[in-house]
């Protein structure tokens, strides 16, 4: 019985952590927007890529594909150095 309770608690925490990450997309977008507002020294190509990845991340988030959104937004953050 005790083992079952531990397994159940682990599953609940695992599901909750996925929900937390899924809702972190807006925070990632805010961080990118804040960095872009500082006019970072990027080449035109890198700036265009960051803007494209940011837009893709938002679209993926709105479509419910949070894993893809976090990847796109993470790639944009890497280019920005954040």
Domain around 51: 24-80
Residue 62, in any domain of the structure = yes
Buried b (16+ CB within 10 A) or exposed e, 46-75: ebeebeebbebbbebbeeebbeebbebbeb
User: pLDDT tens across 12-62, in order?
Assistant: 555 545 545 456 999 999 999 999 999 999 999 999 999 999 999 999 999
* Model pLDDT, residue 28: 96
Residue 72, in any domain of the structure = yes
Question: At residue 26, what are phi and psi to the nearest 5 degrees?
Answer: -60, -35
Residue 2, in any domain of the structure = no
Residue 10, in any domain of the structure = no
Number of independent structural domains in the chain: 1
Q: Give the pLDDT mean for 4-10.
A: 60
pLDDT band at 9 (very low <50, low <70, confident <90, very high): low
Residue 28, in any domain of the structure = yes
How far CA 51 is from CA of 25, 45, 81, in Å, comes to: 15, 10, 14
* Model pLDDT, residue 25: 93
Residue 8, in any domain of the structure = no
Residue 39, in any domain of the structure = yes
Residue with more model confidence, 3 or 46 = 46
């Amino acid at each position: 019985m005790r083992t079952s309770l531990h397994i159940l608690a682990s599953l609940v925490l695992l599901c909750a952590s996925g929900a937390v990450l899924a809702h972190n997309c807006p925070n990632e977008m805010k961080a990118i927007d804040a960095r872009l507002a500082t006019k970072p020294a990027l080449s035109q190509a890198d700036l265009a890529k960051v803007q494209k990845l940011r837009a893709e991340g938002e679209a993926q988030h709105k479509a419910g594909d949070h894993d893809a959104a976090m990847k796109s937004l993470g790639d944009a953050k890497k280019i920005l150095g954040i």
